[in-house]
Structure 1
């Protein structure tokens, strides 16, 4: 349906009727069909603050929608105002793509963003932009209508606000705190002459500006990082705090340096480590801090030990929102302080994000998880799945772990049996 066809009341009402009656799982599919000729596209991706199960929904090209991250959508959301469509290049699924983005926040909604990954060249005209905005307002209203009582909006603390926006604010705050700590270390130094102190302070400020620019680049990181690269970014992040201060920072690099871990987990581990080090420095009497990483099958463990007074309380870490950030990812943070011996802070982050169980667990699986489940049904092992889907074995383990939790089963065999019983994938018998 091209734009001229929207002048036909019958066809327009048919589209509207389809949207306002669509089941929850078919809202994006219905909207995609309505936009097919109006705005030719490869995929639709939605970021919502209303659904307590998942903030990121997608429809269309499975490879594309499966790789779009919530962080990418949250970054895009900063350019889009409610009711004002946005057109331009945006990074989605790790690449710059032409995107039409619209945002809507009807009464009772925490707000939702739609990213239309377009396949045609040239920006849509203003009349098309206005029409897409109206259709998205209808679609968002339908989503809100179908999610009553899932979680009160005023109590939901939507994922986009709780995780992405709060994380970004906390990270920038900690970056500024680290810069100020480094500058104070230079100014208090008794070994640097005045001229050298001024030059050094300038170097610290320039390094901080470089790090702030690199913070924007974090959103462009691939879905996975090697442990070696992730830990290297951590040591670079902390280098300001020890370069000209009186506290020695020591590092214990992780084993299996080429192992891949989710970038979101690596970033959370880095920022948590920096916040912990800052908190330890604030208590005074610290001469040495040791930071170590260790990745096990299901978790990334960070251990930070100081030789300070041993009086650090867990509440002190709340200043940098560390407990909140770790808890939002399903991790744990423990503080073991022994007077006169120092403090040990241990952070454990799961290498798979927690999920909220639903009444239809198979329906809660994302497209990439369904791809992996399809291979599990056929009895394929991790290496074969990785080769078929062009991903690493660790990523396969990541998806298998999420599948087992979402389906509430204990083994790959149970997951395969449940999928067959649900008729997935079509054509596979229960006795296969």
Structure 2
């Protein structure tokens, strides 16, 4: 229970060895965005393997059977725990060959894991918010990438369905075309990362041409006529984020219109203004698409991340029009964490300062000199743009620092009544 987070699994394995002899252990936790998967021992598990194993295990009930871990099907003891305030944690134990744990040993492993999970949750709760900013940013980037890949995948599947359902193609031609669509999608997917790394902007003409290729595949063998009007300022440079968002918005709007049926013509227009890119998608359908439909709300959410806006109009019998407006300058994102300008040692000093410690006490706790503490305090006041220690402490508390007040009384601390919060 005294182990830091990075050593928890290793120490747990040492103790568990007295109960269940094993070759390796792995854990998957939903409470840590930065390192949800950890392995220790001769075999390393993957996230997908642990996720598959999690579907077989109930919280509080040990499971023993064969599962794929480390790329090979093998006997596995799995236990899951989800204490209050936790997203849950799964432990996979790979017993020594030929050694199956008894039911009693499985129960002990479950109880030990319940204790370890409580310890992990406690450690994560105490994490200083400023230290988690990098994790949140990484999670946000992953979420954005997953959403974009999901949209591209949906477009490819829709194109395949349109091709295979086409009445103008015989079976052999439909199969050849479907293969062509799938190969093109795979090539685009594999080259997407290189394209993103190679450029941070592209011309409006290039961006629209890429969109036209995608829409051409999407409607190639459908009964829908596509009317494309590209930007007049074709050589105007667009930020990559804006170009990608515009293409994705048009692509998804076209998919939505195709799915509602009764559409024979779709018109797409791009117009590059001085400060904004405006794109419009209009069909000649029945105009029955609701503004609060989930696919429409997803379009709006994507644009909002870039300070863009979505206009939606769907009058009955007059078709649907979707208009997106995207600023060509990146949105100014204020730093939401006032402590991000501080280095780790200044964070340590501020944490002590916010608990009312004096310089001598801070120096004793951090094992540094009082002169060094004064130097750090001066830097903290300057970076936070405050004039007193009290104001700095108020900023720290507003940002969630400290996560928990210490129960340990430092030398010279005679103030009564301190307690955990």
TM-score range (shorter-chain normalised) is 0.3 to 0.5
Structure with more relative contact order (C-alpha pairs < 8 Å, separation 6 or more): 1
* TM-score relative to the length of structure 2: 0.47
By percentage of residues, which structure has more helix? 1
* TM-score relative to the length of structure 1: 0.46
